[in-house]
Amino acid sequence: MKFWLATANIKRAETCLAYGIFEGIITNPHVVAQEGRDPKALFKDLCRIAPYAYYQLHAGEVEAMLAEAEEMLAIDPDKMRIKVPATRNGLGVIRRLTDQGLRVMATAVPTSTWMVLAVAAGAVAIAPYSGMLQRRNILSKMEGVFDMQSIIDAQGYDVEICTGIYDATEIPRYAAQGIKSAFIWEKDVEAYLTQELVDEAAANFEDDWAQIDAY
């Protein structure tokens, strides 16, 4: 299972990427706006420290979205990746970018039906928004993600879901269902990477290390 760091903060990104578990950085407009910087300058810095960085396009008209994608990709063509809101126009943008040879993530995908349409448009990664269904008491967020993965498996799609992790206990459940990618919010990283049983097991060797160091 691959993990992405959800942040646009340079300092936090440097700290969390050093833990060695993240493929790169994934952002949304909210975390970008929090930084109070020009997005091009911000992503230039993010690309400097991260293997890859996802930028989410502003939902709008097709040509405007394509122009925005071109501008952001130019920052670092090897590291920049694009998330496209899967609106009606967004599906057209996904197709146009895919036809350029780009690997595009469809975001704001609330249902399995909409995932199938995004894949048909060429998306190779899906950011599910099944939490919207949970808030409407239709099905749980996790069930929505599992339903999407079952379709991916049945159809043999070369597509990865990238779901948000909101509790560390979700990680093995998603992994067991074949989910291959997820993002973790930077505020949760240290909590998720603290495991008392691991620390206790490592501490059991302290007396042995003291004896080794004495030689």
**Catalytic (active-site) positions:** 83
Q: Cα dihedral sign for 78, 79, 83, 84? A: negative
For the beta carbon of residue 71, count every other beta carbon within 10 angstroms.
12
DSSP 98: H
Locate all alpha helices (DSSP H) within the chain, ordered by sequence: 10-17, 29-34, 39-49, 62-73, 88-99, 112-121, 131-135, 141-155, 170-176, 189-192, 196-203, 206-213
Cα separation, 14 vs 4, in Å, equals 13
